[in-house]
Amino acid sequence: MSNAMLIDITRCVGCGECTRACIAANDLPEGDDTQLSCARYTVVNEVGNPQASVRQLCMHCVEPTCVSACLVGAFRKTATGAVVYDEEKCIGCRYCMQACPFSVPKYEWSSLAPRIKKCSFCHSRVSQGKLPACVEACPAGASVFGDRNELIREAHHRINENPGEYVDHVYGEHEAGGTSVLFLSAVPFGLLGFPDNLPTEPIPRLSWKILKEIPKYAVVSSLLLFGIHWITARRAYVEKIEHRDSETEELR
């Protein structure tokens, strides 16, 4: 079963209990509660006009860009839906930070052995059968956790049952090939700062289209280069022989 989280922005009261629960569960240090950082894996902000309380956290993409981008494979999408990071493998190139379409991975800039920091979907809690800390703490029922397919059905059900209350869009159903964090909103997502220009094709496929051609390129170009060398070397040799023959001709 692949898990997901459905966040209903219309139900969120912006109390920040999710942020505090996350800090406690992950033992995070002091930090700015308004933006994601190496000290905050989820934050809630009042954004847009009309205002809405919007949570930010790792979207746990179905086909994550960070997983494909990391050269040492430090990111992994688990069977339960979480995108987790292995700090032992990481070399600190920060390509995941560039690659993430949601700008989620954050870096321990002030550390001498810096690591990437981001939400792990409470992977260890969930594997013990518990809920993610933020979902458990939410007093308004704005964040719920469950099977991704069921939550998508639930999201469309809410849209259909409450005409006019939501924009007809489940954010994360198709964005970047689909994510395991899904949002419902009354305001168009672009106005709330959600990236609204993402392809529905999983982003890793953009680079795979090029990477998969490399073996072919290597074979064809080496044949071509050896072939050209064969021809030009032969031509140079023949020229030399002819030159030499004409010289000996003259000597005679």
Partner 1 sequence: MKQAWKRRYSFWSLTAAVLIVIGLVGVIQRYAFGLGETTNLSDRFPWGLWIGFDILVGVGLAAGGFTIAAAVHIFNIERFRPILKPTILTAFLGYLLVIAGLLVDLGKPWAIWHALIYWNTSSVMFEVAWCVMLYTVVLALEFSPVVLERFNLQAPLRVIRAITIPVVVTGVILSTLHQSSLGSLFIIIPGRMHPLWYSTILPFLFLISSIAAGLAMTIVESQLSAKAFGRKIEVPLLADLARVVVVVLATFLAVRVQDLINRDALRFALEPTYQSGLFWVEIVLGTFVPIALLLIPRFRHTANGLFNASVLVLLGFVANRLNTAITSMEQWPDRTYMPSWQEVAITLGLAAVGFALFSAGVRYLNVFGPQEDPGARQRQEVLSQGSRTTSRRTDTVCAEASSHI
Element spanning 75, H or E: strand 75-77
Does position 208 bind partner 1 by CB under 8 A?
yes
Instruction: Please name the residue ranges forming H helices in 94-147.
Output: 95-99, 123-127, 133-137
CA 135 to chain centre: 22
Q: Out of 13, 93, 124, 242, name the contact with partner 1 by CB under 8 A.
A: 93
Does position 56 bind partner 1 by CB under 8 A?
no
Q: What are phi and psi of 9, to 5 degrees?
A: -65, -30
Q: Out of 153, 206, 242, 246, name the contact with partner 1 by CB under 8 A.
A: 206
Nearer to partner 1, 29 or 73 (CB): 73
Q: Footprint of partner 1 on residues 59-78 (CB under 8 A)?
A: 65, 68-74
* Residue 65 beta carbon to partner 1: minimum distance, rounded to whole angstroms: 6
Nearer to partner 1, 139 or 209 (CB): 209
Q: 81-97 burial, b if ≥16 CB within 10 A, otherwise e?
A: bbbbbeeeebeeeeebb
State how beta strands 75-77 and 106-107 pair: unpaired
* Residue 213 beta carbon to partner 1: minimum distance, rounded to whole angstroms: 10
- Across the beta sheet with 181-184, the strand order is 143-147, 3-8, 181-184
User: Where on the chain is the footprint of partner 1 (CB under 8 A)?
Assistant: 36-37, 65, 68-74, 89-95, 97-99, 101, 103, 106-107, 109-114, 195, 197-199, 203-204, 206-208, 210-211, 214, 217-218, 221-222, 225-226, 228-229, 232-233, 235-237, 240-241, 244-245, 247-248, 251
